[in-house]
Structure 1
Amino acid sequence: MDVKDNIVSSESLVQFSLEYGLLRRLEEIHIPTYAEYAQVDFLYTIETYYEGFHQIFTDASKSRDGVGCAFHDPSTNINRKFRLNNHHSVFTAELFSIFKSLEYVEEKYQEFASDKILILSDSRSCLSSLSILRLDYTFTIIHKYILETLAKLKSWGLQVHFLWVKSHVGIEGNEVVDELAKQASRMDIVECRIYSPRDLIPHIKSTMFAKWEGIYNTQTKAKHYKSIQPIPVKHPWFNNKQFTRSINEEVESRDFVRVISRLRSGHTICPKYLHQIRKKTDNLCDCGEIGDLEHIILRCSKNRRNLETTIINICSILKTKYPFNLSSIMATNNPRVYYEVYKFVKNSDLII
């Protein structure tokens, strides 16, 4: 697999196999609870459970500079840094640093003073993934490499344990490897080209959204909707907690979403629209005026009493003066304004 010009391509689907006997939960993973004095808790854990273990700290970093990871061996003062591609997630980078630390153990264990190895990581999610081992899209080829390397080290008589450490609390080894990982993210040569689906999903989403945005901006149709939503968005207008809070106890939310969505799109059961789709012989309202959406909501004399109250409330909310058009008030995305419009529709017995 190769990455060039921000385009990820592969000649074939990435497939791998793993011996069934290696698919077991790693009981050697310890995720302790750290209280206020994390350094004291860390030292207590080491002295109680891991006295005499050869320690190796791992970490990863993802920033605007790039993605990198590293491991640090405080006993030998050996450090190694690895640059990953910008599309890699910090999860993959953390996992890769664990794998490279195990490769280092495989290479140097005969020089260690102990056959008990402790890999220390501040990535709780990575250690949990190794402990649970779900066979879904989160299981990557790096998991396979880690399990195979662990099996090899175990067959050589080594004990490998993992310990979660709390980050940025002054634990020396973790602070050192944290800085090494940041340095690795600024390196030029990429040393990891292994990808998992979760790494590429954000890149695929951003690429698809950019293409959609280009089509949306050049589209000449749907002028009414584009006047309300000039910029494409990734989430629907109602996918917002402020709308949920505003309408949750006052209106039936599904009906609220239906009415407002139709008003935003312009596809409503008004005389002009019914005439366009040949469901009505003319485009006139019962009052004799052209029955477009603007007229039905803001102009029709039939609904004058409810309309006056709605206009006063909207002017108060937006701190503006009448007249205004329907597109401008729908473009506010203001839940209180939408609620006033919704109340007007219901109180006037309008079918939208």
Structure 2
Amino acid sequence: MVSLDLPVPFWKSSDALFGNQIFHLMDTSLYGGFFRIFTDGSYSPPASYASAVFFEDLSICQTWTLSGPHSVLTTELYAILQALTFVKRHLPPKPIVLYTDSQSSLHLLLSSRPPSHMQLVCVIHSLLRYFASPPPWTVHLQWVPSHVGIHGNEIVDHAAQQAHHSQHLIYLDPDPAALCSHIRQACTSLWEQSLSLELDPTSLGLVRADAAIHPWARHPCRQLDVALTRLRIGHTGLNGHLHRLGLVDSPWCPWRPHGEETVEHFLLWCPRFHSYRVALQEHLATLGYPRLSLPLLLGGSGDPDTHLQVMRLLCRFLRSSG
């Protein structure tokens, strides 16, 4: 008999003592006399991946350090694969329970058409079919919570962490999904670096430093949408910009001599709009923002849940100030 067992509802508590007690109750009542195996996978930045297996009844721990771009899910599946391979090669038919704290691994193994890690899942499936054929084994893959003081799980977790220091690397073909994810992350990182260098000397660099999508930045009113965009890129009808284009004689603000009329000056300092700015500050304070800044008003810094509210308050300020 082969079974894969995911967590039960009463095991969702984050209390370590409760989780440990439930494990020992389950272990003694369901898996008394079983050969116990614990598996774990680990990732250590910037690019180290390790798997570990602890055979509790034999007091044996094995570790592997994987080369190449992978994912934590790959390390978890690889640990399960190595544990089942060891059982097939070295043990006679007996009741086996394999404990893992990776729900994602069990969900993949339950699928007949896994969306990722097809190669590893297929090999594990072939091993499980072997255990189900005569003479039949009793093999359970059981989920357990991590970091609740379960002795075997703590040992295998520590072993996986230590495996990152190994110089002996095991080559494993990267999963296409994991490889695509690494390529996407590398491209995004390169784009972020290039964008930051390009934005630094510009007006947009004052309010935006990355390439993150800002869906809240658009406004359904075209007039306000244009105004917000012009404020972000600095192409406005303010004297500071018009003077650089040679359209006005002076960059100074009419309401503050020797103060250049820039976007920052207009939104944060200009005395002409003081009363409207006070109202804006009071509303922003209720959202948890006691101070005005360009990144807050135009760049979306702060809590993502309040971005849309901040934009609406800024639009109200623009309407009031004309």
Normalising by structure 1, what TM-score? 0.65
SS at match of 2:167: coil
What letter matches 1:173 in structure 2?
G
Aligned twin of 1:155: 133
In structure 2, the CA distance between the partners of 1:29 and 1:314, relative to structure 1 (3 Å rule), is: closer
Correspondence for 2:159: 180
Query: CA offset at residue 121 of structure 1?
Result: 0.6
Matched, 1:71 2:86: no
Provide the secondary structure at the position in 2 that maps to 1:88. Answer: coil
Task: Label 1:151 to 1:263 Cα distance change in 2 as closer, same or farther (>3 A).
Answer: same
The SS at the match of 2:58 is coil
Distance in 2, matches of 1:261 and 1:53, equals 66
Match of residue 49, structure 1, among 25, 30, 34: 30
Residue 203 of structure 1 and its aligned partner are, at CA, apart by 2.6
Partner residue of 2:123 out of 129, 145, 150: 145
Question: Which residue is 2:257 aligned to?
Answer: none
Asked if 1:165 corresponds to 2:147, the answer is: no
Distance 1:55 1:28 in 2: 15
Aligned pairs for 1:272-351 (under 5 A) are 294=262, 298=266, 307-313=273-279, 330=298, 333=301, 340-347=313-320
1:126 maps to what in 2?
105
- Asked if 2 retains the 8 angstrom alpha-carbon contact of 1:124 and 1:164, the reply is yes
Secondary structure of the structure 2 residue equivalent to 1:55: strand
Whether the 8 Å contact between 2:295 and 2:301 is mirrored in structure 1 is: no
What is the deviation of 1:312? 4.2
- Aligned mates of 2:314, 2:200 — CA distance in 1: 25
Gaps (5+ residues) in structure 2? 254-260
Give the structure 1 partner of residue 67 of structure 2. Answer: 85
- Decide whether the 8 Å contact of 2:238 with 2:262 is kept in 1: no
Q: Counterparts of 2:296 and 2:157 in 1: how far apart (Å)? A: 50
Q: Distance in 2 between matches of 1:151 and 1:39?
A: 32
What CA deviation, in whole Å up to 9, does each residue of 1:222-263 have, x standing for no partner?
A: 82323433xx31424566xxx9xxxxxxxx975577753442
In the TM superposition, residue 267 of structure 1 has moved relative to its aligned partner by 5.9
Task: Find 1:96's aligned residue among 70, 75, 78.
Answer: 78
Q: Which residue of 1 aligns with 2:7?
A: 31
Structure showing the higher helix proportion among its residues: 2
Residues 60, 67 of structure 1: 8 Å contact kept? yes
2:212 to 235, 248, 263: 235
**Cα distance, 1:237–1:151 mapped onto 2, change above 3 Å:** same
Q: Provide the rounded CA distance (Å) in 2 between the counterparts of 1:28 and 1:57.
A: 14
What is the match of residue 60 of structure 1?
41
- Aligned residue pair count: 285
Deviations 1:43-81 (A, max 9, x none): 221232222221111112222483211111111222211
Partner amino acid, structure 1, of 2:83: S
Structure 2 letter corresponding to 1:347: S
Give me the whole-angstrom Cα distance separating, in 2, the residues matched to 1:143 and 1:320.
Answer: 53
Q: Secondary structure in 2 aligned to 1:203?
A: helix
TM-score by length of 2: 0.70
Q: Deviations over 1:154-209 (max 9, x none)?
A: 22422221111122222221121111111212211221423123423443233213
Q: Secondary structure at the match of 1:223?
A: coil
1:46 corresponds to which letter in structure 2?
Answer: D
Q: Distance in 1 between matches of 2:35 and 2:196?
A: 59
Is this contact kept in 2: 1:68–1:186, CA < 8 A? Answer: no
| Larger displacement relative to structure 2 (184-193 or 214-223) | 214-223
Note if 1:264 corresponds to 2:232. Answer: yes
The 1:215–1:59 alpha-carbon spacing in structure 2 relative to 1, beyond 3 Å, is: closer
The alpha-carbon distance between structure 1 residues 94 and 234, as it changes in their structure 2 partners (threshold 3 A), is farther
Q: Deviation digits for residues 283-311 of structure 1, max 9, x if unmatched?
A: 68xxxx9xxx958x949xxxx97x34234
Give the Cα–Cα distance (whole angstroms) in 1 for the partners of residues 210 and 63 of structure 2. 39
Taking every aligned residue pair, what percent have the same amino acid on both sides?
23
Q: Distance in 1 between matches of 2:124 and 2:311?
A: 54
Distance 1:214 1:124, change over 3 A: closer
Counterpart-to-counterpart distance in 2, 1:125 and 1:329: 40
How big is the alpha-carbon RMSD for the aligned residues of Structure 1 and Structure 2? 4.3
